[in-house]
Structure 1
Amino acid sequence: MFPPRHRFGAALVIALTATLATACASQAPPASQPTESMAGTPTAAPPEATPTPTADAADEDPTCETLIGADVVADFESIGWSSRAEKFYLGELELAHGIQCVWADFEGPAGDHLQLFGWAPIGDEEAAEAQTSMVDQGWIREESSEGVYITEPKETTIAVDEEGYGMTYLFVAGSVKLADTKQGLLLIEWPKS
């Protein structure tokens, strides 16, 4: 059902995140203040640490851990779930700069208990073509103040939200979001503001 999984990218993101967190957490120890017992042996203060430059969140690419809120990630991890990053597809169309994340218990028994989130940048013409293609295949198109929703037909839906919506895409100017239900789209917090 899903395209092949790529673990190397996720491992690289986790390693880079850990490296940045370690670098940002280090601080220079406070300079020693002379006391009566140290007065005869002056010591040099350690050099000031140079702060590590951080990239603006708007310039970063999303990861499975940043695509949704930190509290949602913590909830998933607390029940033993982890994520797998995949390529973002709209039908047959791969959006090269997008990400699709599957959250599940990959160590447990196989099943369909999972959560799916995705985001990708997309041009207006490409978005219109994708919407038309999906509607031609039976997907349902709805316009709203948030953007254009494209939802899978009820006949092929595996799981639905409280309103009866299954897998849904939300097209807004310049990007598209994906979740396994329409309500799941509310958990996506990308792009960061």
Structure 2
Amino acid sequence: MALTTTALATACAAEAPPAAQPTETVAGTPTPAAPEPTPSSEPEPPEGEPTCDTLIGAAVVADFESVGWSSQAEAFYLGDVELANGIQCVWADFDGPAGDHLQLFGWAPITPDQAAEAQATLVSQGWVREESAEGVYITEPKETTIATDDEGYGMTYLFAEDWVKLADTKQGLLLIEWPQV
């Protein structure tokens, strides 16, 4: 029995890196154990819908709050279409004098048809389309840009397979940590 337990423990330790399937088919016990990590990782995604505090990193939230900024959540609109379950967050000093010092972050799930239509609409309005390994970037035209990042990009969308992100600059997209996986 001790030899079987040791062999099983050794097999489980070896199964994680290279070949999990042969170990699972040989021993019936590891098969129920394999799904258990999935339920234990399920509590992370059920943190619910993204919020202004979870859309970006905790350190960024702390930095904003340390200078007196807070956030306001809004529905995520792509043109005149509201994307269900999306969020757009404006971070600024809402108690201070009016100004244009703010940060904008957004995320929403999107279907491939919605993404294709939105991209076509934005490009027809003069927005610039760039493809990359991360997805498709659509950036506002330079003539209408109010604020830019170090590379000259203003407000930018990043379209991936089933979601879209938005920030007031292309570099700002790097601060969005949603969806959390």
TM range (shorter): 0.7 to 0.9
3-state SS of paired residue (2:75) = strand
Q: Secondary structure in 2 aligned to 1:164?
A: coil
Q: Does 1:158 align with 2:146?
A: yes
Choose from 44, 47, 72 the match for 1:57: 44
How far has the Cα of 1:150 moved from its partner? 0.3
SS of the equivalent of 2:76 reads: strand
- What displacement does 1:57 show? 2.7
Letter in 2 for 1:58: P
Alignment counterpart, residue 93 of structure 2, candidates 75, 82, 105: 105
Of 104, 110, 116, which aligns to 2:104? 116
Q: Residue 186 of structure 1 aligns with which residue?
A: 174
Q: TM-score, normalised by structure 2?
A: 0.76
* 1:87 and 2:71 matched: no
Distance 1:56 1:187 in 2: 23
**Larger fraction in helix:** 2
The residue that corresponds to 1:129 in the other structure is 117
Amino acid at match of 2:152: G
* Aligned residue runs from structure 1 range 38-49, under 5 A: none
Unaligned 5+ residue runs, structure 2? 1-41
- After TM superposition, give the deviation of residue 136 of structure 1 in Å: 0.4
With normalisation by structure 1, the TM-score equals 0.71
One-letter amino acid of the structure 1 residue matched with residue 54 of structure 2:
T
Partner of 1:68: 56
Distance 1:183 1:128 in 2: 23
Could you tell me which residue of structure 1 aligns to residue 137 of structure 2? 149
Identical pairs, percent = 76
Q: What code does the residue aligned with 1:149 have?
A: Y
User: For residues 118-162 of structure 1, what are the alpha-carbon distances to aligned partners after superposition, in whole Å with 9 as ceiling and x for unaligned?
Assistant: 000000011000000000011100000010000000111000000
Aligned to 1:96: 84
In 1, Cα distance between equivalents of 2:149 and 2:79:
22
CA distance in 2, matches of 1:75, 1:180: 18
Match of residue 170, structure 1, among 134, 141, 158: 158
Give the unaligned 5+ runs of structure 1.
1-54
Paired AA for residue 162 in structure 1: D
**Which residue of structure 2 aligns with residue 6 of structure 1?**
none
Separation (CA, whole Å) in 1 of partners of 2:74 and 2:114: 20
4+ residue runs over 3 A deviation: none
